[in-house]
Chains A and B, each alone.
Chain A
Amino acid sequence: MKQALIRFGGAAALVLALWLSLPSLFDSLAINSILAWLPMVLLVSLGQMIVIITGGIDVSVGSILGLSAMVLGLVVSKNLDMPIEQQFLICLGVGTILGSINWLLITTAKIQPLIATIATLAAFRGLAFIAGKGSTVTGSMLPDSLLNSSGQGIQAGDITFSWLLIGSVVIAICVSLGLKFLPWGRAVYAYGSQPQGSFRRGISERKVLFIAYAVCGALSGLAGGFYASRFAIVHPGTAGYGLELTAIAAVVIGGVKLTGGVGRVSGVAMSCLFLAVLNVGLRVAGISADWQLAVYGFVLLAALGMDRKRQLDKERLAA
């Protein structure tokens, strides 16, 4: 409780400082771009979080997003009046299949998660090129129903809460409830906390890892649909490129331990918001594009450092 208050106080102070130093970050334009940035990253980070709670990692999420966006683009370009639900179902399906491939590599072929997903990071990206024969899906090939879902939604004055944002928040709440209240959710934590111990208790490693990697794949796949909707263009090389780093950063800043067993959706959601503000903030502050990436990196380091210090203090007290 006290910790939550400190966190909240810290966040409030940060916002205040930002507001004083960078008022333009709070005009509707900036807020809208923050809200537009959020849904895709939130989805991918949620999936990554489940994987990391099991003590694993999935670096192929960006490629899953790219391939799923590519497949969606190719399918809908021939079928422009496909209902929007079906479009997102295609993305979910593609993502689930790709996630299951990761799962097979990790459980059946017994390859370490990092290695297995580095391999699929390359393979899925390659497939995205092959699927579209190297071509790019452009906005004119995409149906309006898809494009509108990122631009339309609930309006509050000048600020738009897009359908995608609302969808991603609903999904975050579902993941949070699932992890807390479904037996498989608890099994994910138990496995991450002590894999051998969970084997002794009859928890199936294969099932737990399937949930983790398939859900991670599914959410990353769905994020592919979000990507196509938001950017109205899908290039096989750039869609979702490098997104795994953003997602892992969001998860770790959100208080999830890389060693497994610990993590909450609320933390990850907050850190996604933080990253969104940071991203837009750097642009609004007029920091040149050359510098943006470096500054971004340093801010991440600082955030991680503070978190690490707090944890160390806590551990020393608990010992």
Chain B
Amino acid sequence: MASAMTKNSGGLPLSCKEICLSFGSFQVLKDVEFSLQPGRVHAITGENGAGKSSLAKVMAGIYRQQSGSVLIGDEVLRLSSPKAAQSHGIALIHQEPLPFEHLSISENIFCGSLPTRWGSVDWAMLHKRAQEVLLELGLELDVKRSAEGLSIADQQLLELASALAMDTKYFIFDETTAPLTPKETEGLFKVIRSLTARGCAVGIVSHHMHEVFEISDEITVLRDGEKAAHYETSETTPAQVIRSMVGRDFDPGIHDRKSEHAERVLDVQNLSGPGFSDISFSIRSGEIFGLAGLVGAGRTEVIRSIFGIAPIDSGEITISGEQHAPKSTSDSIARGMALVPEDRRSDGLFAGRSVLENTSITTVHKHLNRLWMIDQSTEAAEAAEALDTLNVAMRGLDQDVDTLSGGNQQKVVLGRWLMSHPKLLILDEPTRGVDISAKADVHQKIHSLAEQGVAILVVSSDLLEVIALCDRVGVMRRGSMVGSLERSELSEESIMEMAAL
């Protein structure tokens, strides 16, 4: 078994020729051309639902194209399963990672190709090699603990670790940077650069233009399943790429909200709980407050405790002047709170159910008719309206939410809570994986909610988002609040300086 350090020989490009893919009558990819050259980074961008993940999945042997072929050099590959793709050295780091919660981190990394001795799993060797791979990634995790409760960022890095553990020559990163802060993204880019230096080929899907321009050598833009454009990165500009993405000139718009903060909606005093201690802040109605910090700084933990998902050790929470000691999330919902969770797959979405049910689940009790049955037409109308403002790309309200693209799943979760008219809206990474224009729509929506008097708490690793949205930002480091910044003081530098140090 070759280690992650092996030099790559051969150095043939991986290419896709005239790939067509459809689900039923719905065509997702039309004659797409794409290639990964050894030593180079090829970025794929496009709006939500453009087909980026689908293209990646074709190369990884997960989806089977109806026509067209995937080749290494001149050899046509038969990618009948992920295993077949892996045997050709192709690995996909998924946008929606699926870790094995009940298994150890080591097993998560080596699953499917565990090191054995005389046919039995060599646990000592397994843990040792897992440790080595994680070290290479600069990840500090106990390899023997279970993968339960890992953040999305760590889950994706685990997928990268398992790609490194196999003898991978072609890496495809599907929005791996979306949950990362700039500092961690920098770390990931270092890994990517060392991969290309070693002769590996890298594909990367991202909605962040500055990242695409920093790391890539060439860019392919997908629009509605077709290749809209291809550029050498050095010969193009972000504006040009965005134009071919959305098919028009794009103006993110500037939000200027008059903030007349009135009543204090949320007041947190000296709160301590699992993963954080002594946190104090307050939010007034109509105000947007941000929690910034590195991944693992304890931001998500704080809001989980406020919402009643995790316990509180000490400290006080007051909601509109009333003491709030949540025993469960329904206490919090009853007080007018809403939470859009970070991990939509495990906490937010009802997989296997329709888009409609997923959107209306929190408000469905308001649509009962005289017979106490759900009035389906108003239910559908209201859901359609909420999703419309977010531009969800779907075939219809009855589509299985599982088959929506990643960004569109996020929009469904958002749409659900926008429908429920909360008093305090808590957003954890609200636009992870959401494309540029939809992100502007979501921001617009958040601003208008604030204007209507909703108090909003935002956790985001995307500093530009924090800056675009927040009136005030609290910065966390290693579980404590290290400072706060007013709107006028907000900049990427000022936040990072406090967060990292």
CA distance A261 to B146 in the complex (A): 12
CB of B372 to closest CB in A, whole Å: 31
Does the CB pair B311–A202 fall under 8 Å? no
Does the CB pair A261–B102 fall under 8 Å? yes
A183 within 8 A of B: yes
Contact among B86, B102, B148 with A202 in the assembled complex (CB-CB below 8 Å) = B86
CA distance A186 to B114 in the complex (A): 9
Does the CB pair A202–B82 fall under 8 Å? yes
B310 within 8 A of A: yes
* CB 8 Å contact bits of B426-457 with A (1 = contact, 0 = none): 00000000000000000000000000000000
Does the CB pair B107–A186 fall under 8 Å? yes
Does the CB pair B120–A182 fall under 8 Å? yes
Most buried by B among A189, A190, A192, A202: A202
CA distance A202 to B148 in the complex (A): 21
CB of A22 to closest CB in B, whole Å: 38
Does the CB pair B121–A319 fall under 8 Å? no
CA distance A182 to B311 in the complex (A): 39
Does the CB pair A181–B120 fall under 8 Å? yes
Given contact pairs A182-B121, A201-B162, A202-B81, A319 touches B103 in the complex (Cβ within 8 A): no
A200 within 8 A of B: yes
B10 within 8 A of A: no
A199 within 8 A of B: yes
CA distance A196 to B119 in the complex (A): 26
Residue in chain B with minimal CB distance to A318? B149
Does the CB pair A189–B103 fall under 8 Å? yes
CA distance A202 to B86 in the complex (A): 8
Residue in chain B with minimal CB distance to A317? B311
Does the CB pair A198–B112 fall under 8 Å? yes
CA distance A316 to B162 in the complex (A): 30
Chain B residues touching A, majority SS: loop
Chain A residues touching B, majority SS: helix
A262 within 8 A of B: yes
Does the CB pair A189–B310 fall under 8 Å? no
Q: B68-76, B93-101, B175-183, B332-340: which lies at the A interface?
A: B93-101
- Count of B residues near A, CB < 8 Å? 33
A203 within 8 A of B: yes
Residue in chain A with minimal CB distance to B81? A202
B153 within 8 A of A: no
Interfacial chain A residues near B162, Cβ < 8 Å: 201
Does the CB pair A189–B102 fall under 8 Å? yes
* CB 8 Å contact bits of B43-76 with A (1 = contact, 0 = none): 0000000000000000010100000000000000
Does the CB pair B98–A194 fall under 8 Å? yes
CA distance A183 to B116 in the complex (A): 8
Does the CB pair A201–B102 fall under 8 Å? no
Most buried by A among B81, B83, B103, B111: B111
Given contact pairs A201-B82, A201-B112, A201-B162, A194 touches B309 in the complex (Cβ within 8 A): no
- Known contacts A180-B121, A197-B100; 19 further A-B pairs (Cβ under 8 A): A185-B121, A186-B114, A186-B121, A190-B111, A193-B100, A193-B101, A196-B98, A197-B98, A198-B111, A199-B82, A202-B112, A203-B112, A204-B83, A261-B103, A262-B102, A316-B310, A317-B274, A317-B311, A319-B311
Interface residues of B (CB under 8 A from A): 60, 62, 81-83, 86, 92, 94, 97-103, 107, 111-114, 116, 119-121, 123, 148-149, 162, 274, 304, 309-311
Q: Provide 15 A-B residue pairs closer than 8 Å at the C-beta atoms, listed in order of the A residue.
A: A181-B121, A181-B123, A182-B120, A183-B119, A187-B112, A192-B102, A193-B100, A197-B99, A198-B100, A200-B98, A201-B82, A203-B112, A319-B304, A319-B309, A319-B310
Top 6 A-B pairs, shortest CB-CB distance: A202-B83, A197-B98, A201-B112, A261-B102, A181-B120, A193-B100
